[in-house]
Amino acid sequence: MKLNALNNSFSPFQWPTLQFLTEVSLFVSVKGRDLLQKMACSGIPDRSKSNFTAFVNQQNEYMKKQISFPLAITICLFVLTVTLFSCDTLRKNPTPTAQSRRPNTTANRRPGSAPARRPTNNRAASSPARPTYSRPSGDYAKEIPQVVEVARTYSGTPYRSGGNDKSGIDCSGLICSVYSEIGVKVPRISWQQSEFGTEVGSIQEIRPGDWVFFVPEAGKEGYVSHAGIVTDVRNQQEIFFIHASTSKGVREDNLFSTYFKGRFVKAMRPF
């Protein structure tokens, strides 16, 4: 059983080579043994006692030379055997190429680790990189009373997602429609509106004509889901804005009311 296991551990190329080298090693060993036996059997009775010591030393030197030859042959055969086995092993297991070691950057990627992206349009490649917006021809501060007046004409309009007129309108549609009536083109989508213009530094700096934005849940970060136009600032605790409520339609509410105070995230001054 041990012999079979040993036989199975060598490849078809390695086993005949090992047998050949073993037979050569045995041949050299046998020849060296016969040489030593002949030297031991060679008689020295004819030698005088005075020359006996010199003869023994001469024979010892001759034996060392004869023994070193088969030993050197055996070492060379052993090195040759190891070399042949190594070459055969390397042939079976080639070193991986540079291409196979190249990391797959796509696979290393962890799932969900990509940053959040804005909604994209499949036709973006054929459309301009940025929509063309306009601004009031004069000083925006002088246009604010007209903005507030037009916005209040929408009061009572029912809420309709995607709506743009008085038959039904949503919050971002209200902003877009009001400014459209005074000849100014602004973004239609709420998250685009939240990046349009200059951000107001603090609540104390909010004034009529500014846009206010809210998130869905109070006290939590999130995407902008609601927007309105500031219509009246009475004091630091009464800042009214007009918006399209999903349940009550277009109406004005106080920014500091319980519902909106916790959801308010930013204010923008569009012009």
Q: What is the mean pLDDT of residues 23-27?
A: 61
Q: For the segment 92-109, what is each residue's pLDDT rounded down to a tens digit?
A: 555 444 444 444 433 333
Query: Of 121-130, 150-159, 176-185, which gets the smallest average pLDDT?
Result: 121-130
Residue 155 CA, chain-centre distance (Å), reads: 50
3-class DSSP assignment, residue 96: coil
| pLDDT tens column, 199-240 | 999 999 999 999 999 999 988 888 999 999 999 999 999 999
Mean pLDDT over 57-68 rounds to 61
Q: Is the pLDDT of residue 7 over 70?
A: no
96, two tokens? 């991986």
For the chain, what's the residue count? Answer: 271
In this prediction, residues 35-40 reach a mean pLDDT of: 54
* pLDDT(131) > 60: yes
Buried b / exposed e across 80-102, counting CB within 10 Å, b at 16+? ebeeebeeeeeeeeeeeeeeeee
Higher pLDDT, 19 or 1: 19
Q: What is the pLDDT of residue 49?
A: 47
**From edge to edge, which strands make up the β-sheet containing 238-245?**
198-199, 264-269, 211-214, 226-235, 238-245, 249-254
**Residues 147/178, Cβ–Cβ less than 8 Å:** yes
Question: Which two tokens mark 144?
Answer: 């604010």
Residue positions annotated with a catalytic role:
171, 226, 243
Q: Which amino acid is at 211?
A: W
194 within 8 A of 270, measured Cβ to Cβ: no
User: What would the mean pLDDT of 165-174 be, rounded to a whole number?
Assistant: 97
